[in-house]
């Protein structure tokens, strides 16, 4: 037995669809898109192979191989979708993006390598991006590792500090009397505004960057945690007290679990803020990391390296937010699907 859910289309009209298996017409439509995607990738490969570039760009052969592999993959998806609807339901959802990516890669290559409509060195063809990942992998990987360590330290400290502060303000009026004005005064300031003081008071650029990232993370976590604790239904406390619960039980077993949805919203906001501060801090003083790599690439006019770093940064940030959503869905199974990423 399959379950059916209701969604809203672009016009706002509710439509019923089957979660277990798509309709035959939907599967056939996705299969046709897979065929178009295969043709688009093979067309991109033909453009790379037979349309001569105005310059001899390295790694053109690798770009050709990649386009052929993606075209073959789309062809296999098309063939599998014709035979098995379940296969189509699981794998063909990405084919519109594969089609759009093939068209974008072809337009990118034509506008840079073949026609040179976009000025050099600010714009380079896609094979130049492949060259960065193949030639500069050690430096780029070291930058990713350094940024990840720095982000982990700062985000963990900021999230823990903001969580404790938010629970304290939401639970205790005395603590709120002293911390709330400080939070309202310091919290709205951009963390990057503290750069001069941070690099003066802390002994190293690494510790100063950890402080800035923690500061950017702590404010949204504290505010949302405080709101979650303060908004807990008072009847929950009354029932727990009737059963003999102590204040520690009320905090750990009633207030915090009820406030977890707000806590995770603060964690999401803090992660985005910490990532932006991370890049700025690495540009200002840290001698490694993705921010440093961006500045280095810009200084040497290596714009292909800069675009590669931006792509890695986007994947890294998106992946971390995805992991945080997975954790939220596991801890808050009763709210699974309420927030989507």
- pLDDT, tens only, 105-154: 999 999 999 998 998 888 989 999 999 999 999 999 999 999 999 999 99
The dihedrals phi and psi of 7, each to the nearest 5 degrees, come to -125, 170
Q: Could you say which DSSP state residue 44 is in?
A: H
Structure tokens at 102: 């093939």
**How far is CA 122 from each of CA 29, 128, 130, 269, 306, rounded to the nearest angstrom?**
39, 12, 16, 32, 10
Domain finish residue from 64, 93, 127: 127
The reported pLDDT for the residue numbered 104 is 96
Q: Integer distance in angstroms from the first to the last C-alpha of the chain?
A: 28
Residue 84 has phi, psi (to 5 degrees) of -135, 115
122 shares its domain with 141: no
Is 58 a domain residue?
yes
Chosen domain end from 97, 127, 157: 127
Phi, psi angle pair for 127, to nearest 5°: -65, -25
Beta pairing partners, 130:
none
* Residue 245 token pair: 């619960």
With a cut of 50, list the residues of the chain below it in pLDDT: 1-20
Report the pLDDT value the prediction gives residue 10, as an integer from 0 to 100.
38
Q: Would 327 be classed as within a structural domain?
A: yes
pLDDT recorded at residue 16: 41
Q: Of 65, 95, 127, which closes a domain?
A: 127
> What was the pLDDT predicted at 288?
83
Return the CATH number at 232.
1.10.3720.10
Full-model pTM: 0.82
145 in the same domain as 263: yes
* Domain that residue 287 falls in: 137-335
CA distance 307 to 203: 33
Give ∠ CA 172-217-262 in degrees, rounded to 5.
Answer: 55
- Tokens representing residue 292 in the block: 């440093």
* Number of domains the chain contains: 2
């Amino acid at each position: 037995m399959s379950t059916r859910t209701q969604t809203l289309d672009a016009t706002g009209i509710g439509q019923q669809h089957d979660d277990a298996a798509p309709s035959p017409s939907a599967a056939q439509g996705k299969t046709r898109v897979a065929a178009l995607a295969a043709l688009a990738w093979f067309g991109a490969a033909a453009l790379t192979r037979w349309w001569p570039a105005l310059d001899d760009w390295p790694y053109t052969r690798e770009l050709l191989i990649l386009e052929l592999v993606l075209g073959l993959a789309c062809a296999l998806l098309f063939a599998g979708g014709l035979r098995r609807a379940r296969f189509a339901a699981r794998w063909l959802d990405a084919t519109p993006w594969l089609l759009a990516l093939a068209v974008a890669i072809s337009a990118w290559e034509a506008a840079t390598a073949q026609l040179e409509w976009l000025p050099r060195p600010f714009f380079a063809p896609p094979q130049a991006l492949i060259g960065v990942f193949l030639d500069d992998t050690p430096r780029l990987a070291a930058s990713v590792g350094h940024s990840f360590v720095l982000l982990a330290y700062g985000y963990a400290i900021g999230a823990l500090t903001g969580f404790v502060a938010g629970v304290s303000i939401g639970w205790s009026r005395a603590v709120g009397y002293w911390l709330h004005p400080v939070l309202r005064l310091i919290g709205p300031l951009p963390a990057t505004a503290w750069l001069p003081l941070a690099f003066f008071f802390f002994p190293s650029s690494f510790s100063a960057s950890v402080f800035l990232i923690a500061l950017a993370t702590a404010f949204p976590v504290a505010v949302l945690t405080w709101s979650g604790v303060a908004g807990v239904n008072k009847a929950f406390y009354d029932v727990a007290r009737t059963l003999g619960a102590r204040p520690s039980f009320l905090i750990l077993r009633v207030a915090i679990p009820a406030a977890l949805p707000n806590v995770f919203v603060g964690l999401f906001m803090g992660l985005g803020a910490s990532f932006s501060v991370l890049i700025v801090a690495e540009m200002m003083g840290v001698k490694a990391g993705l921010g440093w790599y961006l500045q280095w690439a810009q200084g040497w006019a290596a714009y292909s390296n800069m675009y590669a770093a931006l792509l890695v940064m986007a994947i890294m940030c998106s992946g971390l937010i995805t992991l945080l959503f997975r954790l939220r869905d596991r801890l808050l199974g009763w709210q699974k699907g309420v927030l989507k990423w």
